[in-house]
């Protein structure tokens, strides 16, 4: 008589068996991964390796793989030879959540972050369905429609290579849908009581903007004063004329301010040239640069063009794990030039866009297409910008209506004031 453990082992062995078609799809997936790196890596010899020799070494291993998990491991071992981040293989069920996160046009009107493994409301859009329904910062979102968010987070975090930005984008997608529709969302309020609300999905915050062949993005910009300190926040480096104009006006209106805060938390980047233009409002020395982007056939130096009457007071830049691309270039460059103090948590370490493609076997393949070195000689891709002062958002502070990251920046600026 077979034991229960024996039956489990037998079932696992049967499950691992690959059909001839599945085996071929794994081989095709290997070939696609190898070819993409050969053709699109920023170095002609990726990682300084003989990439053809790598193919000869790993092709027999993929042919011998007895299961899809073994095939994944062969490809992961090959990618590990590059010693680069943002090269990863995602199982098919994870790819479904991160590879095709096409968000609907409608938004419930609040932003979130994953704090201590929970989806916490961090801000609420004025006039939104969430505001009208009494949603408060610090509330925990437990379910969106039929999706239990704790399970989604657990599944995505099972892939160590998946960074915070991708996780947050998947959560955002779960909380969106067709504009004008309704989404049933379950919260834990400040007293940890369950509240289920049917929220109308309104238009995204901001004005529509298009750049090149990219899909339409909604861009917003806000500016205010905190005492005698200027504060700006915007969600993307897009809508060049409007955002650059509003940024310039905010700086000009703040010439007598004690300091200036630029909040890039949640900003995934956009047009790289905007970082140079904005830095010109804060740097008055010529020939300074934020860093250099390296591609296969050329490089691009992010040179700052100083503006007349650039702001000379203390500058604080706020970042988090969803600050990526141009946000990292801007924050990291100003940090290296000792022109800004950085507050918050480490950035996404995705200074350049990474691509996620579906492989023939249904898995996902993430890869970077360039490298970026900050002016201080740091590779931002895979490393990110580390704050000068690490400050984390907490649910307790949000429930009290406080933002500890802004508070820390304000306190630092006030300490920089010189007696008059």
Please name the fold of domain 207-352+369-416: 2-enoyl-CoA Hydratase; Chain A, domain 1 (3.90.226)
Residue 417, pLDDT > 90, answer no
* CB of 330 closer than 8 Å to CB of 275: yes
Give domain limits for the chain. 4-83, 110-200, 207-352+369-416
* CB of 152 closer than 8 Å to CB of 167: no
Give CA separation, 258 vs 106, 263, 285, 393, in Å: 39, 17, 21, 25
Residue 11, pLDDT > 60, answer no
CA dihedral sign of residues 335, 340, 344, 350? negative
CA-atom Rg of the chain in angstroms: 24
Helix (H, G, I), strand (E, B) or coil at 311: coil
- The tens digit of pLDDT for each residue in 73-100 reads 999 999 999 987 678 898 887 766 655 4
Tell me the C-alpha distance between 344 and 236, whole Å: 18
Homologous superfamily in CATH for domain 110-200: PDZ domain (2.30.42.10)
Give CA separation, 317 vs 142, 172, 263, 286, 335, in Å: 31, 24, 6, 22, 9
- The tens digit of pLDDT for each residue in 285-310 reads 888 999 988 888 888 889 998 988 89
For the residues of 196-219, what is the DSSP string, one character each? EEEEE-BPPSSEEE--TTSPPEEE
Only one residue has tokens 């229960």, namely 4
* CB of 174 closer than 8 Å to CB of 100: no
Given this model, what pLDDT does residue 3 score?
42
CA triple 356-68-169, angle to 5 deg? 25
Given this model, what pLDDT does residue 384 score?
85
């Amino acid at each position: 008589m077979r034991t229960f453990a024996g039956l489990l082992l037998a079932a696992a062995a049967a499950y691992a068996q690959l059909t001839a078609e599945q085996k071929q799809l794994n081989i095709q997936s290997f070939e696609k991964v190898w070819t993409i790196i050969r053709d699109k890596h920023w170095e002609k010899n990726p990682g300084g390796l003989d990439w053809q020799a790598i193919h000869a070494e790993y092709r027999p291993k993929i042919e011998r793989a007895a299961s899809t998990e073994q095939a994944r491991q062969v490809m992961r071992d090959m990618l590990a030879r590059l010693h680069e981040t943002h090269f990863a293989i995602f199982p098919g069920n994870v790819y479904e959540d991160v590879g095709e996160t096409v968000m609907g046009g409608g938004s419930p009107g609040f932003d979130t972050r994953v704090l201590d493994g929970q989806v916490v409301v961090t801000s609420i859009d004025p006039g939104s369905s969430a505001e009208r329904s009494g949603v408060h910062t610090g509330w925990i979102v437990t379910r969106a429609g039929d999706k239990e968010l704790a399970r989604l987070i657990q599944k995505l975090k099972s892939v160590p290579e998946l960074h915070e930005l991708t996780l947050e984008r998947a959560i955002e997608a779960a909380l969106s849908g067709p504009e004008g529709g309704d989404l049933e969302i379950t919260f834990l309020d400040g007293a940890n009581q369950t509240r289920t609300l049917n929220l109308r999905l309104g238009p995204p915050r901001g004005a529509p903007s298009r750049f090149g062949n990219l899909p339409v993005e909604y861009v917003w910009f806000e500016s205010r004063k905190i005492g005698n300190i200027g504060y700006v926040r915007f969600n993307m480096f897009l809508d060049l004329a409007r955002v650059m104009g509003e940024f310039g006006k905010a700086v000009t209106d703040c010439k007598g301010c004690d300091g200036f805060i630029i909040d890039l938390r949640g900003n995934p980047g956009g047009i790289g040239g905007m970082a140079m233009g904005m830095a010109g409002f804060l740097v008055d020395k010529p020939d300074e640069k934020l860093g250099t982007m390296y591609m296969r056939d050329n490089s691009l130096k992010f040179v700052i063009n100083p503006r007349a009457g650039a702001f000379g007071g203390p500058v604080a830049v706020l970042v988090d794990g969803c600050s990526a691309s141009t946000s990292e270039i801007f924050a990291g460059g100003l940090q290296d030039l000792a022109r800004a103090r950085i507050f918050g948590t480490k950035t996404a370490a995705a200074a350049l866009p990474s691509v996620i493609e579906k492989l023939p076997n249904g898995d996902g393949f993430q890869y970077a297409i360039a490298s970026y070195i900050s002016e201080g000689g740091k590779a931002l891709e895979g490393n990110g910008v580390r704050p000068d002062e690490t400050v984390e958002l907490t649910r307790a502070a949000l429930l009290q209506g406080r933002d500890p990251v802004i508070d820390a920046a304000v306190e630092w600026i006030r300490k920089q004031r010189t007696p008059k």
